[in-house]
Amino acid sequence: MNYIKIFLFIFLTVFPIFGMAEGEDKDQNTVRAEQMFAFLLQDQADSLYENLSEKVKPMVQKQQFKGLLKQIEPQMGAYQKHGPWEVQEMMGQKCYVSMVQFEKAELGAVVVFDEHLKMLGIQLVPANAVKKE
């Protein structure tokens, strides 16, 4: 199947994490990646925009977040499910990846955080770009 490259960059920040202990086994960024992806799935443009980094807010308008999944459904079909979040290193950056199943194809969701625990972005990419065999 010929995948159509879809890149949706959304630069976000995330909710603060309360009580995050140093040395904690569970990587809190996976929880945060799931939370931001849930906003995307639920078409919560206001919540996405509210979580934008102050550095990128001037570059993004709230309307850009509205209906993002609806824009790709004509090509990929309806969202079905997504898998667990895995940590991958891409170009020296720690990324959080989940495989997303649509009716017609699979894409990879990639979420990136900076060193200050702020979300740099969320992106849907062709599955073969991030899928581990």
The pLDDT assigned to 12 comes to 29
Q: Where are the domains of the chain?
A: 28-129
Residue spans of the chain under pLDDT 70: 1-26, 114-116, 118, 133
Long-range CB contact pairs, 79-82, < 8 A, 24+: 79/41, 82/37, 82/109
Q: What's the CATH number for 28-129?
A: 3.10.450.590
Distance CA 124, CA 72 (A): 10
pLDDT of residue 115: 65
| Cα(2)–Cα(104) distance, integer angstroms | 11
The structure's pTM equals 0.75
